[in-house]
Amino acid sequence: PDYARAYASLAWTYLVEHSERWAGAKDQPLERAFEYARQGVRVNPASHSNHLVLGQVCLSKGLHDEALEALETAIALNPNDADGYAFLARALTFAGRPDEAIGLVGRAQRLNPASPRWYAWNLGMALYVARRHDEAVTAFRKATPLGDVAYRWLAAAYGQLGREQDAKAAAE
pLDDT tens for 136-168 read: 999 999 887 888 888 999 999 999 999 999 999
Mean pLDDT of 21-48: 90
Average pLDDT, integer, range 60-84: 97
Kind and range of the H or E element at 7?
Answer: helix 4-19
Cβ partners under 8 Å of residue 36, min gap 6: 7, 8, 10, 11, 14
**Whole-prediction pTM:** 0.91
Q: What is the pLDDT of residue 142?
A: 87
